[in-house]
Chains A and B, each alone.
Chain A
Amino acid sequence: MKLCISSSGKDIGARVDTAFGRAPYFLIIDTETMEAEVVENAAAASGHGAGIGAAQIVSDKGAEAVLSGFVGPNAFSALKASDIRIFEGISANDTVQEAVTGFKKGDYREVTAPSTGPGRGGGRGRGGGRGRRGF
């Protein structure tokens, strides 16, 4: 499976980034071969619509699933429109490598409706969504 993980750095040793839309990089990893491709998230700095822009990048790269800490409601709709499966719950302390290992073990839950906020499961999440996050 081609799995996209939101990442703070360019290789699988880097820590994950728990916010999907605002993550600086995506690592697209073939979970069978562990071959990884890095993609810069050009949408991360957008004033508006970072989540949808990020989903476009991920969709264009042919990812089949996304693993992040929190996927905002717009990004959720976009990824679903591309039939990309969404998994949430990675922790900010994990490296991308550890996240893939956990993913293969089935540690992360698949989300079928937009979450109401980041952080469940220990992720810190900056939340790219539109103010649904509490204080």
Chain B
Amino acid sequence: MTGDLQSEVIRAFHRKDFTTPVVGITGGKGGVGKTTVAVNIACALADRGVRTALVDADVDGPNGAILLSVELANPAAVDITVPQIDAERCNGCGDCVRACRLHALFQPRGKYPQLIGECNGCEACIQVCEAHAISRGRKQVGMTYLSRIDGLSLYTGALIPGFEESSVVVQAVRERAFADAEQFDLILVDTSPGAHCNVINALRGADSVLAVTEPTPFGLHDLELILNLLELLELGGSVVLNRADLPGDRKKIKTVARQHSREMIWEIGMDDLLARSYAAGVPVVREYPQAPSSKVFQQLAENIAATYGI
């Protein structure tokens, strides 16, 4: 793909019909503190009077609500389509069976097709059926929730364990928040670890991204992966170096961040008060606003607010 065309595709991918800024929080490696950073920035913004939505898009293990000690509320089911085949209308042509990339449909000799395998709801069978014999049945694959706490709206996506359609749930929770965008001054999206389609789907529509990492070989390795992805998605932003005073290699992190033209590096040191509040499920910016880590989160929140003129 040529550069121009790629840019056009990426712009179309990120296009949204509201003006509320969206900031992604990601990082590649698991356990680096993405959700801790997301929750604390969200609270710091909310405490400044910024109407903030936090989207927990780590649908395989959402725990933003735990860090905020808030109950999941306002549930909504996330469904996908499964084909329902009308035997009366079916002409037995077998086009749907051939269209199914997952081989979920099977047509016994002389009979009409039936769903045997796992369907991911792509609807290709419905598209190709000239007899209009396939209608949309529904299969639930997850839930979204909306909880409100102290000026903050938390949107949570949760996949039903064992289902494969996690990116459908990521999209559903992001779209639920986006549908309410006019109510907010800022939307924060906390992604799952990794650099795969669930992360890409969560970052769709973001204006900038914070990449959270730690100064370990693992943090460094996965930071490079995620920064490569962010470049592909044409998303700028900064790096947050959590546990910055671990005996690792901060220099290498900084070099990589610079190579990927990240604007700046925010360092959060090992902070006993942060660890304590984390264990208690209370954001450190609220429990210990004077803690060194709280100062960084407040500064980050201020910086985000200034960037978007909120």
Contact = CB atoms under 8 A, between A and B. Distances in A.
A56 B113 CA distance: 10
B102 A82 contact: no
A81 B103 contact: no
Contacts of A60: 109
Nearest to A55: B106
A78 B106 contact: yes
Which secondary structure dominates where chain B touches chain A?
A: loop
A29 interface: no
Nearest to B115: A52
B103 A50 contact: yes
B104 A52 contact: yes
A43 B114 CA distance: 18
A43 B103 contact: yes
A81 B118 contact: no
Interface in B20-69: none
A52 B117 contact: yes
Given A48-B102, A49-B102, A56-B97, A74 B117 contact: yes
Interface string A71-107: 0001001100111000000000000000000000000
Contact of B106 (A48, A50, A62, A81): A81
A49 B109 contact: no
Interface of B: 97, 100-109, 111, 114, 116-118
The list of the 5 closest CB pairs from A to B, nearest first, reads A49-B103, A53-B103, A82-B108, A48-B102, A78-B106
